[in-house]
Amino acid sequence: MSNIKNPQNNPLKNPAPVRPPGGSTTPKTVYVCSPFRPTAVSEADRDAEQRSNIERALNACRILAMMGIQPLAPHLYFTRFLKDELAAERAAGMQFGLSWLEQADELWVFGDTVSEGMAQEIAKAKELGKSVHILFESRRVAELLVESLAQKYTLTGDGQQEMQPKAAESEQHNDER
């Protein structure tokens, strides 16, 4: 019987669980630190900068998630319902975000600009003894993703990626002994 006819065996319906880095059952958590507020003068430029800032943070979160790391991006979450342009609501969002930072394993800075809010987050991370990684170039983030994928999956001689995780291969070999 094919996998498609039997949904219990369909790998697309029942994907194998992905192991987080380090083999722990709990994924590493990384606090995503990147600009949110635009600094441009004109309204059109501010709108474009805001979209770019949000896109950068979303891309960072996606890359981290693909690496098996849980991204924490409070500036993407709290600004969905708190108004960043209102001082009291921004302050509340910053406080909520800093409490997430306390739970994070590390802080990763994305982008080539450090805003006032980011400076507070970096200072807090250092105060808490958290590792701070600065990734100014998107190329470096892509390198980390490729490195993580290369560790997770076996690459064939023709550059194709086998979808069998290395950990599952070693478990399979252990069963054969």
Range 18-24 average pLDDT = 54
Of residues 148 and 177, more confidently modeled: 148
Q: Is residue 21 very low, low, confident or very high in pLDDT (cuts 50, 70, 90)? A: low
Q: What is the pLDDT of residue 1?
A: 47
With residue 123 as reference, give the H or E element that holds it.
helix 116-127
Q: What is the pLDDT of residue 78?
A: 97
Q: What is the pLDDT of residue 175?
A: 41
Mean pLDDT lowest for which of 13-22, 93-102, 137-146?
A: 13-22
Q: What is the pLDDT of residue 169?
A: 39
Q: What is the pLDDT of residue 141?
A: 63
Q: What is the pLDDT of residue 106?
A: 96
Domains and CATH numbers, the chain: 25-136 (3.40.50.450)
Query: With pLDDT > 70 as the criterion, what percentage of the chain qualifies?
Result: 63
This prediction's pTM: 0.68
Contact 10, 3 (CB under 8 A): yes
d(CA 71, CA 88): 26
Q: What is the pLDDT of residue 67?
A: 87
d(CA 104, CA 97): 11
d(CA 1, CA 168): 24
pLDDT at 122 over 50: yes
- Please name which of 40, 39, 79, 41 lies closest in space to residue 58, comparing C-alpha atoms: 79
d(CA 56, CA 60): 6
